[in-house]
């Protein structure tokens, strides 16, 4: 097993995640991290444009409501080709481990048109990174696979830029090849095909991932949303104010055992909708919490560098 820099003999700092070229790496592409990183440019902006236009297109088909539009929206979600070129994630956790991309696409479509339809109608569920919070079975692995496929174009252009600036990719017997790949076109808002030139490591094409775009967990996971923002809201729902003005709140550990507050997507959806009825947008609060932690960590890392 060898990292990208070992395989190609690169000794200087690199702008990509230095994964093992011969194995699945337990890192997962995170659409919210891509959004918050805002670099490298122009690839980060292009990637965000892809994920946003993709979900806008799918939800637009739901808003349209016609049979043709709904069929089209469902088909957009069934076109996720296995994105193994990054070596991210675990094969048994991704599309192949869950019955294929078509089945995963149906989970998402059925949630968006079913239980989560109220969130779609009010425009609350409008970013790709929102899906893991509400779609059962969609976690870091599936989110990573979906995101990779949607932003394949910007990532391929980033890879081509790296190859142009690191001659090690085409020296010492190493080669690049041109491939025809499925990409999301944010201008036409359709799945398209494009020719991309990628390095070939041990006979398999390699798609490089910018530093900061992937991690061992998702910034916006269902578990994190449930354990922070959602249970904090439930605490305040049940809080009691004493005659002295002190607010008494139940422990989150106890709330987890209450009927209707057990961990799970059904609880997340029910409490989120209940909060909307009380003029509270828990998703906005959660993103503010996540973004604050992310920015604080990045600031600390930059200060230490």
Q: pTM of the full predicted structure?
A: 0.91
Of the CA atoms within 13 Å of residue 128, those in its CB half-sphere come to 30
Helical residues (DSSP H) of the chain, grouped into ranges = 4-8, 31-37, 43-64, 67-76, 101-113, 117-121, 131-134, 140-150, 152-165, 222-225, 231-238, 252-255, 265-277, 282-304
- For residue 300, the model assigns a pLDDT of 63
| CA dist., res. 302 & res. 212, Å (int) | 13
Q: Does a structural domain hold residue 56? A: yes
Domain encompassing residue 76:
19-215
- For residue 305, the model assigns a pLDDT of 56
Question: 238 and 182: one domain?
Answer: no
Question: 90 and 198: one domain?
Answer: yes
- For residue 253, the model assigns a pLDDT of 95
Element (H, E) at 197: strand 190-201
| CA dist., res. 182 & res. 210, Å (int) | 20
Question: 57 and 100: one domain?
Answer: yes
- Could you tell me which residues come within 8 angstroms of residue 125 by beta carbon, excluding any fewer than 6 positions away? 59, 112, 116, 119, 131, 134, 283
Question: 154 and 59: one domain?
Answer: yes
Structure tokens at 14: 């690199």
Question: 91 and 239: one domain?
Answer: no
- For residue 90, the model assigns a pLDDT of 64
Q: Does a structural domain hold residue 101? A: yes
Question: 226 and 132: one domain?
Answer: no
Q: Does a structural domain hold residue 97? A: yes
Q: Does a structural domain hold residue 1? A: no
Asked whether 179 and 198 are in contact (CB, 8 A), the reply is yes
Question: 242 and 169: one domain?
Answer: no
- For residue 95, the model assigns a pLDDT of 38
Q: Does a structural domain hold residue 249? A: yes
Question: 169 and 226: one domain?
Answer: no
**Domain termination site, one of 183, 215, 247:** 215
CA nearest 131: which of 166, 121, 120? 120
Question: 138 and 229: one domain?
Answer: no
Question: 170 and 35: one domain?
Answer: yes
Question: How many separate domains does the chain show?
Answer: 2
Q: Does a structural domain hold residue 14? A: no
**Domain termination site, one of 177, 199, 215:** 215
Residues linked to residue 241 through DSSP beta bridges, in sequence order:
247
- For residue 155, the model assigns a pLDDT of 98
Question: 159 and 59: one domain?
Answer: yes
- For residue 52, the model assigns a pLDDT of 97
Q: Does a structural domain hold residue 12? A: no
pLDDT per residue of the chain (305 residues) written in tens, 0 to 9: 789 999 999 999 999 999 999 877 889 999 999 999 999 999 999 999 999 999 999 999 999 989 999 999 999 999 887 788 999 986 554 434 444 567 888 999 999 999 999 999 999 999 999 999 999 989 999 999 999 999 999 999 999 999 999 999 999 899 999 999 999 999 999 999 999 999 999 889 999 999 999 999 999 999 999 999 999 999 999 988 887 878 889 999 999 999 999 999 999 999 999 999 999 999 999 999 999 999 888 766 666 55
Question: 152 and 58: one domain?
Answer: yes
Q: Does a structural domain hold residue 5? A: no
Structure tokens at 178: 């041109």
**Domain termination site, one of 157, 188, 215:** 215
């Amino acid at each position: 097993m060898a990292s990208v820099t070992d395989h190609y003999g690169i000794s200087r700092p690199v702008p990509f995640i230095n994964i093992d070229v011969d194995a699945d790496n337990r890192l997962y592409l995170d659409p919210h991290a891509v959004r918050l990183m805002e670099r490298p440019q122009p690839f980060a902006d292009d990637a965000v444009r892809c994920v946003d236009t993709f979900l806008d297109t799918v939800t637009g088909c739901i808003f349209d409501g016609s049979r043709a539009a709904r069929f089209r929206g469902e088909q957009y979600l069934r076109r996720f080709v296995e994105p193994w070129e990054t070596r991210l994630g675990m094969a048994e956790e991704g599309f192949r481990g869950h019955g294929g991309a078509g089945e995963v696409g149906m989970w998402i479509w059925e949630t968006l048109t079913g239980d989560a339809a109220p969130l779609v109608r009010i425009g609350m569920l409008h970013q790709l990174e929102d899906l893991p919070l509400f779609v059962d079975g969609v976690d870091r692995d599936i989110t990573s696979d979906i995101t990779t496929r949607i932003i394949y174009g910007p990532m391929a252009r980033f890879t081509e830029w790296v190859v142009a600036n690191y001659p090690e990719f085409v020296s010492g017997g190493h080669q690049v090849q041109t491939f025809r790949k499925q990409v999301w076109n944010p201008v036409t808002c359709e799945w398209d095909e494009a020719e991309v030139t990628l390095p070939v490591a041990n006979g398999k094409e390699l798609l490089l991932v910018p530093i900061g775009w992937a991690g061992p967990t998702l910034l916006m996971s269902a578990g994190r949303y449930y354990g922070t923002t959602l249970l904090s809201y439930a605490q305040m729902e049940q809080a009691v104010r004493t005659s002295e003005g002190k607010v008494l709140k139940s422990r989150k550990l106890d709330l987890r055992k209450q009927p209707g507050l057990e961990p799970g997507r059904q609880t997340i959806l029910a409490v989120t909708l209940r909060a909307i009825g009380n003029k509270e947008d828990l998703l906005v609060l959660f993103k503010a919490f996540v973004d604050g932690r992310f920015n604080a960590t990045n600031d600390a890392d930059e200060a230490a560098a």
